[in-house]
Structure 1
């Protein structure tokens, strides 16, 4: 992560940090998402993981009380993955479920 001073606002810093932390929850020793299958930028597995990470970041911003100013950034980022969402309408539901598990994990909530 770049230092907080490199971001326009502290909210942008934390939104990005939550996104990157969300990726870490997918490790085999944590929530065991299929990260080892990620082959290249833009492939299907990569796209799904990015969707999970960005949804998790948006959830964590809400939990942390970070105002909605970061939502425009999240929406723009998610818009870049719209093709995958159009091809698989279930993708957003599955990604949201994984994002909820990641947000819970980041908060120390386990089942």
Structure 2
């Protein structure tokens, strides 16, 4: 997981939002929740890559809400989520599935739950 040092962020809320996004990605490892977007080879812009980005951003938004991170990061998150939804347009169940996977990732982080 690579996140620039706190000192490189203008706002501490943006640092934590970025950290949470990367933490959600880390839960996809095969030893954790084993999500295809992490365990399989993917390419930028592919459906699998886009879905993983959506999961990470939804999960990061959930963690921001839980921890009380300032809502100024929400506008950026909403824009980011919207861009990935455009790539994944047409999959009617996508947002439900991505939200469920994001919730599992958040739960894994908060409770250390397993598969």
Q: What are the Cα deviations for residues 32-54 of structure 1, in whole angstroms up to 9, with x where unaligned?
A: 11123242101011001000000
Runs of 4+ displaced beyond 3 Å:
none
Count of matched residue positions in the alignment of Structure 1 and Structure 2:
111
Gaps of 5+ in 1: none
Counterparts of 2:27 and 2:62 in 1: how far apart (Å)?
14
In the alignment, the residues of structure 1 paired with residue 97 and residue 80 of structure 2 have an alpha-carbon distance, to the nearest angstrom, of 18
Q: Which residue of 1 is the match for residue 7 of structure 2?
A: 5
1:80 alignment counterpart: 83
User: TM-score, normalized by length of structure 2?
Assistant: 0.90
Contact 1:19 1:53 in 2 (8 A): yes
CA distance in 2, matches of 1:63, 1:70: 14
User: Unmatched 5+ residue regions in structure 2?
Assistant: none
Scaled by the length of structure 1, what TM-score is found? 0.93
In structure 2, which of residues 71, 96, 99 is the aligned counterpart of residue 96 of structure 1?
99
Mean CA deviation greater in 83-92 or 1-10: 83-92
Alpha-carbon RMSD = 1.3
